């Protein structure tokens, strides 16, 4: 069987080759798109894991900071209470006695978890 090279045969062959190349190109583009979606899915999962780890570390750091702040506030409260008691010993009364009572009441509540 012999194939004749006519202009119509050349045009038909060119159309078939072009269609085949187009299909291959579209298939390759589809494969790349699916690969990109898969990569995005894994990237998102990695970002979520990193975010959760960062949030856990931040929470731990804030908890430690709050512990330090609470200790500092406790020391400051005891210092203020000592100053107020010193003022009371010096003869100051009225608001000094009231402040001492309020601070002692507050510290007593805190000590008993109220």
Q: Are 88 and 96 in contact (CB under 8 A)?
A: yes
- pTM (two decimals): 0.49
Query: Strand, coil or helix: what is 2?
Result: coil
pLDDT per position as a tens digit, 75-103: 999 999 999 999 999 988 889 999 999 99
Check: CB of residue 98 under 8 Å from CB of residue 81.
Answer: no
Closest CA to 99 of 85, 79, 113, 114: 85
| pLDDT of res. 112 | 80
The DSSP letter of residue 17 is H
């Amino acid at each position: 069987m012999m194939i004749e090279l006519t202009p119509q045969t050349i045009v038909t062959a060119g159309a078939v080759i072009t269609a085949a190349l187009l299909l291959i190109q579209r298939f390759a583009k589809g494969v790349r798109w699916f690969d990109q979606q898969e990569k995005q899915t894994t990237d998102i999962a990695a970002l979520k894991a990193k975010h959760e780890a960062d949030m856990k570390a931040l929470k731990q750091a804030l908890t430690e900071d709050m512990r330090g702040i609470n200790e500092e506030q406790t020391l400051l409260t005891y210092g203020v209470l000592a100053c107020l008691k010193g003022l009371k010993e010096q003869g100051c009364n009225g608001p000094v006695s009231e402040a001492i009572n309020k601070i002692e009441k507050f510290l007593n509540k805190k000590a008993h978890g109220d």
